[in-house]
């Protein structure tokens, strides 16, 4: 439940962060982002991808840690669909704070793959932004 104090803490944490954005986590702490999500009544989705070596590993970890539906197709298009369509159809959404921590940077998950992954979340942010729903995604690289 949102209280004025919780709202103030959330506002302080997210000060200067647009409502719909994908950005480096840099100065933010995961716990502070989770607390802000709780204070605002937003969904908090977290995935630690440190053990991933490939695109399939990344998708498997996101599916597991975000608790995506069993029918998740484990490709980038399916990830976008799971982040938008079924959630949208489930009713009004309060907002989202997403953390993708330690995205791999190696030969099997190269710069192009990382950009494709972040593009999915940028597109998802745009999708929710069009519906006036906050969607903030923070990420870090391994």
Domains of the chain, residue spans: 25-141
Distance CA(84)–CA(51), nearest Å, equals: 26
Tell me which of 136 and 87 has the higher pLDDT: 136
Distance CA(7)–CA(103), nearest Å, equals: 30
**By CB neighbour count within 10 A (0-12 exposed, 13-18 middle, 19+ buried), where does 3 fall?**
exposed
State the average pLDDT over residues 13-34.
93
Q: What is the pLDDT of residue 142?
A: 87
Confirm if 121 and 81 have CB atoms less than 8 A apart: no
State the average pLDDT over residues 22-37.
94
CATH number for domain 25-141, candidates 3.40.50.720, 3.30.370.10, 3.40.50.620, 3.40.50.300: 3.30.370.10
State the average pLDDT over residues 58-71.
93
- pLDDT tops 90 at residue 64: yes
State the average pLDDT over residues 53-67.
96
87-113 pLDDT per residue, tens: 767 878 999 999 999 999 999 999 999
- pTM over 0.75? The answer is yes
């Amino acid at each position: 439940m949102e209280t004025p104090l919780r709202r103030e803490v959330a506002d302080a944490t997210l000060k200067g962060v647009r409502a719909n954005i994908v950005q480096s986590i840099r100065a933010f702490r995961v716990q502070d982002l989770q607390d802000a999500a709780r204070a605002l009544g937003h969904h908090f989705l977290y995935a630690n991808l440190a053990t991933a070596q490939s695109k399939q590993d990344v998708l498997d970890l996101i599916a597991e840690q975000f608790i995506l539906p069993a029918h998740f197709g484990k490709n980038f298009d399916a990830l976008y669909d799971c982040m938008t369509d079924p959630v949208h159809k489930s009713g009004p959404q309060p907002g989202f704070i997403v953390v993708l921590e330690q995205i791999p940077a190696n030969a099997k998950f190269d710069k192009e793959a990382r950009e494709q992954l972040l593009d999915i979340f940028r597109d998802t942010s745009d999708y929710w932004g069009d519906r006036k729903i906050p969607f903030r995604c923070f990420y870090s690289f391994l």
